[in-house]
Structure 1
Amino acid sequence: MAYRKNPITAAALAVAGAFLTVASPAFAAQPITGKWTTEDGDAVVTIQKCGSSYCGRISRFLVVPPQGVDQRDVNNPDKTKRNRKLLGMPVLTSLEEDDTEWRGRIYDPKSGKDYRSVLRRISASRLEVKGCLGPFCQTQVWKRAN
């Protein structure tokens, strides 16, 4: 007995394939671009495209640092970077989309330390930001800035 194509089955498969193609972006990482207030409420970080990846720069202080708005990166272990201004400095770097998350690096200017980072949008107004050292992570929730 020869196998014959069923036109109804072929049409159903085409519709199902089109649905999966349209539905698959729902599993992608949600966009993280925009302005975000850090969990401690002392700064706004603007996340945007930076070359081939994404980065986040300190775009505004909500609490003025000890040395004023011209605060320098005094805690950086690299002495050549200690004179750079915190305002405008990237604290999130090399962010790449990875399934439902964004992975890259996060720099903490208060400690001068750099960590592996994982970001994930929780909602339209909340961003989960993890800084990880080995298997240990510290999580903050940043809120969309006004």
Structure 2
Amino acid sequence: MPGTHMYRALTAIVLGASCISGFAQMTPVGLWRNVDDKTGEAKAEIRIVETGGVLSGKLDKRLGKDIKPDDVCSECSDDRKGKPIVGLEIIRGAKKADGKEVWESGKILDPENGRDYTLRMTPVEGGKKLEVRGSFGPFGRTQTWVRIN
């Protein structure tokens, strides 16, 4: 029956697409809500993109009650100094570690203090969450970001 072949082909396409989307979730690429590891409050939404195997991330939206939309990164000391915090590139240069579901070798900026930290990102819970670690020497903090679909 011709309808049976069409049904099988359509089923194969749908199953293939769901496998691809499931695989794509085990990457930091996407939109994330960061949650402060000290207060538990959502602070911002960050969009991570990949260009040539290198990840970067911009602060898409700030969340919170005391947020001013025209805030700039006054504490930044590089090319981001004086730039608006919304739209600011806070993740630069992260690359996937060989054979692991970990992205590192990049930097993450804390726009509140203008400091860059060594970055390590690890998707967890099937890519629904992202463990983001910023460190300076032996000291560091880890936040768990939540994927926004």
- RMSD across aligned positions (CA): 2.0
Q: Which has the higher Rg, Structure 1 or Structure 2?
A: 1
> 1:56-71, aligned counterparts within 5 Å?
56-63=57-64, 66=67, 68-71=68-71
- Taking the aligned partners of 1:51 and 1:76, their CA distance within structure 2 comes to 26
Q: Which amino acid aligns with 1:102?
A: W
1:99-123 CA deviation, whole Å, 9 max, x = no partner?
2210111000011110101000012
Moved over 3 A (4+): none
Count of matched residue positions in the alignment of Structure 1 and Structure 2:
116
- 8 Å CA contact 2:44–2:62 kept in 1: the answer is yes
Which residue of structure 2 lines up, in the alignment, with residue 133 of structure 1?
Answer: 136
Offset of residue 69 of structure 1: 1.0
Aligned to 1:114: 116
Shift of 1:51: 4.9
Alignment gaps of 5+ in structure 2: 1-25, 37-41
Deviation track 1:26-70 (CA, whole Å, cap 9, x = no partner) reads: xxxx3111111111211100001145511110011222655x212
Deviations 1:117-138 (A, max 9, x none): 1000012321000001112221
Q: Name the % identity.
A: 27
Residue matched to 1:14: none
Label 1:65 to 1:83 Cα distance change in 2 as closer, same or farther (>3 A): farther
CA gap of 1:65–1:47, structure 2 versus 1, over 3 A, is: farther
1:3: which partner in 2? none
In 2, the alpha carbon distance for the partners of 1:85 and 1:64 equals: 18
- Distance in 2 between residues matched to 1:130 and 1:56, nearest whole Å: 14
Return the alpha-carbon distance in structure 1 between the equivalents of residues 64 and 71 of structure 2: 12
Whole-angstrom distance in 2 between the partners of 1:121 and 1:128: 6
Cα distance in structure 1, aligned partners of 2:33 and 2:91: 13
8 Å contact kept, 1:73–1:83: yes
Contact 1:65–1:71 (Cα < 8 Å) also in 2:
no
Paired with 1:35 and 1:108, the residues of 2 have a C-alpha distance of 18
User: Gapped runs of 5+ residues in structure 1?
Assistant: 1-29
Q: Which amino acid letter does the alignment assign opposite residue 39 of structure 1?
A: V
Q: TM-score, normalised by structure 2?
A: 0.70
What is the TM-score normalised by the length of structure 1? 0.71
- Cα distance between partner residues in 2 of 1:81 and 1:121: 27
* Aligned amino acid, residue 109 of structure 1: P
Could you tell which deviates more after superposition, 47-56 or 125-134? Answer: 47-56
